[in-house]
Amino acid sequence: MPSPRVLCFGLVIPLLTLFGCGVSSSLDEAVTSLLEEEVVALKRYPFMTAYVETAKGEVLVSSAVVNPDFYKYADGPGVDDWMRIWSMSKLVTIVLALDLAEDGVFSLEDEAANYLAELAALKVARPLSGGTLSEASAQSYELNATEDRGQSACDFSLESPSRAMTIRDLMVHTAGFYYATTNLPCLDEAQAALELPLAKSSDEWMQGISTLPLIQSPDEGYYYGLNTTVLGFVMERATGKSLQTLLEERVLEPYDIEGLTFLLPESAVLPPRVSGIDGELRLATPMELDIFGGHQPPYGSDTTLFLGGEGLVATAPGFAKFLRVVFFSDANGVEPLLENASLTAMTSPQSNADSGWGAMGYALWLSNGRRPDDTYGRADIWTGGGYEGTRYWIDPTEERVGVIMTQVFMPPASGVSIEDKLRDLLDSRVSSR
C-alpha cells in the first residue's frame, strides 16, 4: 500500500522530518496520526487536510493525508488546494450582509420583497390533513415513518404567509425556503425540475424559485434551506453589484485575502466528488449529490450566477484568514470588518436554543460542548461546515481558527467528530495565548 501523503506548508516531506515546519514535531506527528486513522485506517474520507492558526496568524497545524485507494503517493489534494465549500459560503454572505446593513444599504427588518419583487406573491403550502409541511418533512425522516407519509402531506392548499419575510428571516432560516431534500416528493421533485444551478443569472434563478410554494411562514421557526442564497440576491439587487464584486470590494481586497472566491481560478482543478452513502467510499455517480436535485453550483472562472449559500470555493489558509479578519481583527492589527454589535448578534442564540446541543447564531452553530456519545467538550466553540464534509471553527477562548477540508458526500463516519478530536489534541498540546 502506498504511503499517505503528509504535507507541511504545502511541501511533500517524509513524516520524520515534520519538525522542520515551524510547529512542534510532536504536535505534527499527533495530527498526522489522527488524520491517518480517519483517512487510511478507517477509510472514512478520500483525503483530509487540517489547518489551524492562532488569532495572529501563526500556523499551528498544516497537514494533509490522502487515502491511497483514491490517490497515489504525493498525488492528492493538499492544504493549499481549492475545494468546494458549499454552506461555509453562508458565513461569508452573512458577513457581507451585516457590513451592508451597517452602511445603511438596508435594514435587517426590511421586507425582502422590497428588493426582490418576485417574493411578494409567494404562498405557503398547507397540508389539508393539518399541521405544516416542515413538520411533515421532519416526520418523514423518522425511522418509524410510513412510506407514504411524505406523499400524503403533498395534498395541500396555498395560503398567504402570516407576515412578510424580512432580510433577517433569510439570515436565520425562518423565511420558508428549502433544499430538494425535504423528503416530500411534491417539493423535492418540483425544485429539482427547475435545475436552479444551471440558471445563468439571479433573475433567471428567482423566476424559477418564485413558482414554488414556501414550506412554512416566517414566524414558524427554523427550517434550513435556500434562504442565504436568496439573501445574496437581495444584496445584489440592493447594491446593483454582483456578490463576487461585493466580496472583492469589501473583504478580499481591503484585507489582502487570497483563496476565497466564487470564480474558480482557471488553473485550479477541484477534487472529484466522492460518496460514502453505501457505507464505503466510491466515486459519486452523476446527479447523486442531491441538495438541488442533482445539479451542482457553477464552479468555474466565468460563472455569472453567484450562490451565496453554496457557491464559494476556497483554500484552507484563505478561509482561515477570512475567519481571523472577521473575529480577531484586533489581534491582526486591521480595521474591524464588522462592528461589535454585529459580531455579538452573529455569536448569540438566534434559533434552536432548546435543542439540547447549543443554538444557532448567524450561520454559526454555538456549541454547548455536547457530543454524539453524550460526552462534553468545551462549550465555547463556534462552528460551521459544508455539504461535502468541509468544516471550520472559531475558538474565542484560545484565540484560534481551524479549517478541515475534504470532499465526500455522506462520509461513513460516526461518533465524536474529527474536528472535536483535533481541538482536544490542540488543547492538550498548545498553551493558551
Give the neighbor-by-neighbor strand order of the sheet with 47-54.
59-66, 47-54, 400-405, 391-395, 382-385, 365-367, 358-360
pLDDT (0 to 100) of residue 150: 64
Domain containing residue 162: 82-314
In a domain, residue 294? The reply is yes
pLDDT tens for each residue of the chain, 433 residues long: 333 333 333 333 333 233 334 446 789 899 999 999 999 999 999 999 999 999 999 999 999 999 999 998 768 999 999 999 999 999 999 999 999 999 999 999 999 999 999 999 999 999 998 999 999 999 888 755 555 556 778 899 999 999 999 999 999 999 999 999 999 999 999 999 999 999 999 999 999 999 999 999 999 999 999 999 999 999 999 999 999 999 999 999 999 999 999 999 999 999 999 999 999 999 999 999 999 999 999 999 999 999 999 999 999 999 999 999 999 999 999 999 999 999 999 999 999 999 999 999 999 999 999 999 999 999 999 999 999 999 999 999 999 999 999 999 999 998 899 999 999 999 998 865 4
Q: Does residue 330 lie in a domain region?
A: no
Q: How far is CA 404 from CA 14, 83, 229, 369, in A?
A: 22, 11, 23, 19
Kindly report the three-state secondary structure assignment for every residue of the chain: CCCCCCEECCEECCHHHHHHHCCCHHHHHHHHHHHHHHHHHCCCCCEEEEEEEECCCCEEEEEEEECCCCCCCCCCCCCCCCEECHHHHHHHHHHHHHHHHHCCCCCCCCEHHHCCHHHHHCCEEEECCCCCHHHHHHHHCCCCCCCCHHHHCCCEEEECCCCCCEHHHHHHCCCCCCCCCCCCHHHHHHHHHHCHHHCCCHHHHHHHHCCCCECCCCCCCCCCCCHHHHHHHHHHHHHCCCHHHHHHHHHHCCCCCCCEECECCCCCCCCCCEECCCCCCEECCCCCCCCCCCCCCCCECCCCCCCCCCCCEECHHHHHHHHHHHHCHHHHCCCCCCCHHHHHHHCCCCECCCCCCEEECCCCEEECCECCCCCECCCCCEEEECCCCCEEEEECCCCEEEEEECCCECCCCCCCCHHHHHHHHHHHHCCCC
| Domain assignment of residue 351, yes or no | no
Q: Which amino acid is at 262?
A: F
Based on C-alpha coordinates, what's the Rg of the chain?
21
User: In sequence order, what are the residues at sequence separation of 6 or more whose Cβ sits closer than 8 angstroms to the Cβ of residue 32?
Assistant: 6, 15, 18, 63, 65
**How much is the pLDDT for 4?**
37
- Report pLDDT for 145: 52
pLDDT of residue 152: 74
- Specify if 336 maps to a domain: no
d(CA 255, CA 318): 11
Query: What's the residue count for the chain?
Result: 433
Distance CA 316, CA 295 (A): 25
Which cell is 284 given? 459519486
Residue 329 resides in a domain: no
How many structural domains is the chain composed of? 1
Class of residue 160 by CB neighbours under 10 A (exposed 0-12, middle 13-18, buried 19+): exposed
Residue 129 is assigned to a structural domain of this protein: yes
Question: What are the two backbone dihedrals, phi and then psi, of residue 88, each rounded to the nearest 5 degrees?
Answer: -65, -20
Which set of grid coordinates corresponds to residue 353? 436554543
Distance between CA atoms of residues 108 and 166, nearest Å: 7
List the CATH number of the domain containing 239: 3.40.710.10
Is 213 within a domain? yes
pTM recorded for the entire structure: 0.93
Answer whether 8's CB lies under 8 Å from 19's CB.
no
| Residue 218 forms part of a structural domain | yes
Residue in 118, 245, 115 with CA at minimum distance from that of residue 177: 118
